[in-house]
Structures are given as C-alpha cells and as structure tokens.
Amino acid sequence: MHAIILVGGRGTRLQPLTDTRPKPMLPILGRPFLEHQLEHLKRHGVTAVTFACGFLPSQIVSHFGEGESVGLKLTYVIEPQPLDTAGAIAFAARTLEPQRLLVCNGDVLTDMDITHLIAEHERLGAAATIALTPVEDPTRYGLVRTGERDAVLTFLEKPTLEEAGDDRYINAGTYVLEPEVIAMVPHGVRCNIEREVFPALVGKRLHAIGFDGYWNDIGTPGSYLQANIDLLDGADSWVDESARVHANATIGSGAVVGPGVVVGDGAIIERSVLLEHVVVGRGAYIADSIVGERAVVSDGQRIEHGDVVAPGSAPEPV
C-alpha cells in the first residue's frame, strides 16, 4: 500500500515552535513525530510514502532521505504554493500510477488499526473511507455522522457545539481513497477535502469506520505536550542521554528533557517538554509548558500554565 502524508501546513497553532521547523518534525520523546507515524504505517503494511510538502520541506527531506533508515520507500512532492488538503493530495497522487491510496494528516499520533480500515473499505466497496475517533470537543475537528452500512450522512468541518449536538465522532485524519476521488479534484487550485470533497461525496460511496484506542492531533501546545506525556507509557519522565542535569535539580513527573539540555542546580521541571539544547538556570521552575530549542531560562525564572517559550529566546540583559 502506498500512503500520502500531508505535511505542508504552516502549524500556526504551534507557533513560535513551528517558526523554525515544520510541525511533523517536532520531537515526541526525542524523535520527530513523523518517525512514530512512519513506524505505525509500516506495521500496517505500508511500503511506500509520498510526503505532500509545503512549509519548510528541506528539514523533512534531509532527515528521512529515500527512507533507508525507516525501511520505507519515500518520495517528496513540494507544492509551489499551498493547495490545501485535497489540492495537496491530488498534486502528490498525480506523480504516482492511479491506485488506491492511504492518506494521512501529518500530525496525528495514533495506534489505530489501519489494516481493519483498509479491509472495511474493501468490504464496503467504498470510493472513500474515513477513519473516525470519538472526542470530547468536536469543534476543533471535522464532525462525521454515519448511517446504515457505515455510510456518511454528514461531514461538517469545525462545527459549532450547537451543530454537533450530542455527536462526538470526528474525522481522525486517515482515509482510504480510490482514484476516482482524486480525479474529482481540480488541478493547481486550492481545494479542501474536508469542506469541498467529502461533503460532495455524501451519498456516493463515502463511508466511515469508528476506532477506539489512542488518538491525538498534536497541533496545539496542549496536545503536543500531552502526546509526549502519553508516550512515556508508564515511565515517570524521559531525559535524553546527552542532557546534563545537576544533581540537585528535580526532574518531576511528566518531564521530557531533550538532547543537549542543561538543567541547573535546584531547578524543578514537571509536565513539560524541553526541546534540544535548552539551558535552564539555577532554581528555575518549569511546569505544564514547552521550551523551544536553544532557549535560555534564567535563574529563578518561572514558566508555567501552558507557556510556550520561543526557540532561541534569551532573558533580557539587566
């Protein structure tokens, strides 16, 4: 199976972390998110992946190359300007032989059973099959209602709470698409799969299958932090072996400390991600926050309540 991963978004909600690298390259426990995603796809029989790139593509290309290290055949397509989700999928698909494709958003950490998704797509004879997951707040996502034989009745992107009513199943950002769906997308212009293509396919062999299990769109600071904590998988904290932590510092529960980080005497870190080469001064307190790479946290500074410290930022000179 060939997959297309959408990695061209600007990652606006994760700025300033995404000013210096594309969202899918942000590390989860020290490894780029995309490594986790590629491993998951590989476990479900994917052998080749085309990245639909836009913003900062070179970091992705130089990290993964042709895919030797991950054991997948990787190719890259770079849009001249952002074509939006459907436009990007079609732009990438047109570089391949027409075939059934798995399509994934490049920001969803999940253990979803993709093998089952593909089998259901086949059994239903669908043109497109969308994976669904239940969430507390559907307003951030694409709400999907299904009826008989898992046929999609409604696809409503970013609904209001009123529009969502009691429904909680949303588009999980993973699809199986037949070539006829790609053929619907106009060439070279922006086209959104959630607002244009899926609504137009309702009643026309568009199906959706629900999944329980782990699912997290890492696209906001809160969910990116949570993805790191969830992947601790029972461990209390995670510290890269190249980090230097002072003997009197406290690496508390949910602390994720990246490569090359230096933590000073008496500093306390809990439920937070410190990206590469952060320097934490003596007695600093960091909780429920994210510190961008190479940022300097001064002695005694408090960073808490969901702060996001910009990469490379340093304290004002006194």
Which residue ranges make up the site for ligand GDD (CB under 6 A)? 6-9, 52, 54, 79, 82-85, 88, 105-108, 141-142, 157, 170-171, 173, 194, 217, 219
* Residue 52: closest CA among 95, 13, 16, 109: 95
Q: Least CB distance from residue 54 to ligand GDD, whole Å?
A: 4
3-state secondary structure of 177: strand
Q: How far is the CB of 204 from ligand GDD (least distance, A)?
A: 19
7 binds, options ligand GDD, Mg ion, none, Cβ within 5 to 8 A by partner type: ligand GDD
| Binding partner of 196, given ligand GDD, Mg ion, none, CB within 5-8 angstroms per partner class | none
Length of the chain: 318
Among candidates 43, 35, 50, 65, which has minimal Cα distance to 101? 50
Which of ligand GDD, Mg ion, none does 138 bind, CB closer than 5 to 8 A by kind? none
Nearer to ligand GDD, 51 or 285 (CB): 51
Q: How far is the CB of 10 from ligand GDD (least distance, A)?
A: 8
Contact, 271 vs 286, CB < 8 A? no
Q: Which of residues 199-238 bind Mg ion (CB under 5 A)?
A: 217, 219
Comparing CB distances to Mg ion, the nearer of 215 and 238 is 215
Q: Which of residues 94-153 bind Mg ion (CB under 5 A)?
A: 107
With contact defined as beta carbons under 8 Å apart, do 266 and 249 qualify? yes
Strand-pair category, 73-78 with 268-270: unpaired
Q: How far is the CB of 196 from ligand GDD (least distance, A)?
A: 12
Give the one entry of Mg ion, ligand GDD, none that residue 106 binds, where binding means its C-beta sits below a cut-off of 5 to 8 angstroms depending on kind.
Answer: ligand GDD
Distance CA 313, CA 292 (A): 8
Contacts of 16 (CB under 8 A, 6+ apart): 292, 308, 310, 311
Write down the least CB distance from residue 261 to ligand GDD, Å.
27
Q: How far is the CB of 207 from Mg ion (least distance, A)?
A: 22
Indicate which of ligand GDD, Mg ion, none lies near residue 18 (CB less than 5 to 8 Å, by partner kind). none
Amino acid identity of residue 212, one-letter, is: D
| Residue 35 or 217 having the CB closest to Mg ion | 217
Residue showing the smallest CB distance to ligand GDD in the complex: 8
Distance CA 183, CA 214 (A): 33
CA atoms of 193 and 198, how far apart (whole Å) = 6
> Cα(255)–Cα(304) distance, rounded to whole angstroms?
13
